[in-house]
Amino acid sequence: MAAFWFDQTRDIIKNHIIATPDPNVTVAQECKPLPIEMVVRGYITGVTGTSMWHKYAAGGREFCGHTLPEGMRKNDRLPTPLITPSTKESEKGKNDRSVSPQELLEFSGVDPALYAQIEKTALALFARGTEIAGRAGYILVDTKYEFGLDGAGELVLIDEIHTPDSSRYWREADYAARQVLGEEQDYYDKEFIRLQLAARGLNKFGMEAELAKLPGDLFAEAALRYVGVCEAVTGKPFEYEIGDPLPRIERNVREYLSRRAA
């Protein structure tokens, strides 16, 4: 899915992809990562204590330098997509923090002109993602982008893009009715598991010990949701495989390297 999105956005910004010789393998250009995450939000939502909705529900109206309007409900669409950047903490045990652009510049040391380019690019990527996801029947709720510099100092999109691991997705056909009824939206991303953890009072999101307390069928359901988004967005059937994928991966990588050496 990331490979699909990189291909669909390469006219907006250069990315680090060189080849994908196997569905589980990316051959990428080595870049110098920038110590920032560009989070773009189209809706006010979230279940963790650091989320925009959590801050808003507690009475906060300022978030990452933006003033939010009164009277919003969880999962309402924002008046315009907002960039809410996050620090990229390198120290083990420290969590990334949502900050204002000014705080981010002070933290990261990124040149203001380069940051302006990153902001413009992130909004363009989100607009493209919104458009393509919408054609597939999904809402791209929010996402995050990571950038780096190549050997020539050129800005490059790195890591991954618009997968259910880095982005929230809702079904467009269900959205309006659920909002009218005051129901939680149905998530087709990792928020599905986060909500299951929260419902059971397990609040250490993503921790292995916490996840182990969930029933196995929830993970199967999460996988099916990921697959459903992937198939709808890419327009291609998902190729299932049972068994150890390592022999296939090794074979495909060997063949790729042989072709490059030839």
- pLDDT tens per residue across span 239-248: 888 899 999 9
pLDDT at residue 204 above 60? no
The answer to whether domain 2-188 has CATH 3.30.470.20 is: yes
Tell me, rounded to whole angstroms, the distance of Cα 244 from its chain centroid. Answer: 27
pLDDT at residue 225 above 70? yes
For 31-68, the pLDDT digits (tens) are 999 999 999 999 999 887 788 999 999 999 999 889 99
Distance CA 36, CA 107 (A): 9
**Per-residue pLDDT at 216:** 86
Residue 90 pLDDT class (50, 70, 90 cuts): low
From residue 193, alpha-carbon distances to 42, 51, 170, 237 in Å are 21, 16, 14, 24
The answer to which of 9-13, 106-110, 138-142 has the lowest mean pLDDT is 106-110
Residue 93 pLDDT class (50, 70, 90 cuts): very low
- Phi first, then psi: give them for residue 227, nearest 5 degrees: -60, -40
Mean pLDDT rounded to a whole number for the chain: 91
- Phi first, then psi: give them for residue 58, nearest 5 degrees: -85, 0
**Per-residue pLDDT at 89:** 60
Mean pLDDT value across residues 7-32: 96
For 99-131, the pLDDT digits (tens) are 778 888 887 888 999 999 999 999 999 999 999
CA dihedral 67, 69, 71, 75 (to 10 degrees): -80
| Contacting residues for 105 by C-beta, under 8 A, at least 6 apart | 112, 115
More confident residue, 80 or 198: 80
Residue 91 pLDDT class (50, 70, 90 cuts): low
The domain spans of the chain are 2-188
In eight-state DSSP terms, residue 141 is E
Q: Which residues of 14-37 are buried (b: 16+ CB within 10 A; e: fewer)?
A: bbbbeebbbeeebebeebeebebb
CB 45 within 8 A of CB 53: yes
For residue 214 the two structure tokens come to 């969930």
For residue 55 the two structure tokens come to 């801050």
**Per-residue pLDDT at 94:** 53
Residues belonging to the chain: 262
